[in-house]
Amino acid sequence: MTDGRSKRYLIETWGCQMNQHDSEKMAGILVGLGYAPTGDDREADIILLNTCSVREKAESKVYGRLGRLRRLKTANPDLLIGVVGCVAQQAGEAIFRRAPFVDLVMGPRNLSRLGELIEEARREGRSIGLARDDDPIVFPSGTTARASGPKAFVTIMEGCNKSCTYCIVPFTRGREVYRAPAEIMAEVGALAAQGFREIELLGQNVNAYHHGGHDLASLLRMADRVPGIRRVRFTTSHPGHLKQAIMDCFRDVPTVCNHLHLPVQSGCDRILHAMNRGYTRARYISKIDALKKSVPGMAFSTDLIVGFPGETAAEFGETLQLMREVEFDQVYAFAYSPRPGTEATRLDEALPEEAKLERLRELLSLQEMIQTRRNQSLVGGVFEVLVDGVGRLDNGLLKGRTRCNRIVHFAGPAQRGEFLDVRITHAHSHSLVGKLLAERGVA
């Protein structure tokens, strides 16, 4: 508080939903300390960069951003700059050497210490909070400052016990820790009371969740009984942990939405083995087929890595073939990026960057065709849409999501949080356009 105004914070977020939600948790802590949000870095008293280190590009963006923040710090020495999240955990002290004007470095498992680390940085000039595996994890709850509804993220576990050979997440987020079901359900109940209608249960390996006698399937059934909650999703699932009991929930539990994000990474068994993914192409497809058969309109999205060390053209072709077979509704595809300390960096036969990018372009253009065709097949159909705001395009249209997670643009009137029926009139590759039918009522 300098000129009588309240202190302001700005959090910039890179990466996955877990990071987005971590930012909401940190925002809650900052609000509790008397800070108000700002979108303008020039008026911020504290700027936190919540970082992702899953690929090198994401990491270098952080250092690029820090370079620009140096000028702000020179102009305002009282400004506190923090690097938090996965890059912070991975690089630790090295961040201070590379960007000496940074005041605070904090890994993703230390969120609940944010207030104390800010105080220490103000007092000592610098603070660092990096978690070790044996640190007890505290799931911040109640104080979270969520982005306005209608959907809310709920953390059910932290960390990842897998050891995919390309992935840095187990190093940055540590071993799995599971939150007690009673605590999760108390948060879901409170969210429903605040007016949230959709929840997404979060974990890096969400379907490995277990606590006492409970697993993800039992959590989904419990969440279904919370009055006011009409849609439940969960992410990110590992194909190896997709048990029948969880698959049955898509068919049997009314609130569980008919969309599953199930990262496959590759369509080739040799590459899946080299990635240490623990399943085969056939096993993956058998789970997808079983869900397609039992759940009407089931939609799938996935993550894919192209150009893993030693991937031949024929092996890449197997990934394209898998995409044709499954017909994903959305694909998040990445060129393989070597991450420090991961096993895959020791493999020979790294592919040239240009070869990886060429494969990525080919894969994305195939996906564009598949998505366009799938979306066009929905024209004429009627979907329940949960309105979540105004679309990004400057055409005044509102935006909502179907239960199968497709984006639909339509003309109002409608309010955020309403469930409405929309008839699809046009299809693009990444979204649908529709016309409002009769209102289904604000929930």
- Please give the residue ranges that form the binding site for ligand SAM (CB under 6 A): 16, 54-55, 166-167, 169, 204-205, 236, 238, 263, 265, 303, 305, 334, 336-337, 339
Cβ 408 to ligand SAM shortest distance, Å = 26
Q: How far is the CB of 244 from ligand SF4 (least distance, A)?
A: 20
Q: Which long-range contacts (CB under 8 A, 24 or more apart) does 40-45 make?
A: 40/10, 41/10, 41/69, 41/72, 42/72, 43/8, 44/8, 44/9, 44/10, 44/79, 45/2, 45/7, 45/8, 45/9, 45/78, 45/79, 45/80
Cβ contact 442:418 at 8 Å: yes
Quote the radius of gyration of the chain (alpha carbons, Å): 22
How many residues touch ligand SF4 (CB under 6 A)?
A: 9
241 touches ligand SF4 by CB under 6 A: no
Q: Which is nearer to ligand SAM, 319 or 375 (CB)?
A: 319
Residue 363 CB, shortest distance to ligand SAM, in Å, is 12
At 199, phi and psi to the nearest 5? -125, 150
User: Minimum CB separation from ligand SAM for residue 209, in Å?
Assistant: 13
Instruction: Give the HSE-up count for residue 194: Cα atoms under 13 Å, Cβ half-sphere.
Output: 19
Inter-helix orientation angle 181-194/216-224, to 10°: 30
Q: Is 271 in the site for ligand SF4 (CB under 6 A)?
A: no
Residue 34 region by backbone torsions, left for phi larger than 0, else alpha for psi between -120 and 50, else beta: left
Position among 111, 121, 160, 422 found at the interface with ligand SF4 (CB under 6 A) = 160
Comparing CB distances to ligand SF4, the nearer of 112 and 265 is 265
Q: Of ligand SAM, ligand SF4, none, which one sits near residue 79, judging by CB under 5 to 8 A according to partner kind?
A: none
- How far apart (Å, rounded) are the C-alpha atoms in residues 254 and 203? 22
**Using the rule CB under 6 A, which residue among 204, 207, 319, 342 binds ligand SF4?**
204
Contact between 164 and ligand SF4 by CB under 6 A: the answer reads yes
Residue 33 sits at φ, ψ, to 5 deg, of: -90, 5
> Which residue stretch of 150-158, 164-172, 211-219, 396-404 sits at the interface with ligand SF4 (rule: CB under 6 A)?
164-172
Task: Examine residue 108 and tell whether it contacts ligand SF4 (CB under 6 A).
Answer: no
The site for ligand SF4 (CB under 6 A) is made up of: 160, 162, 164, 167, 169-170, 204-205, 238
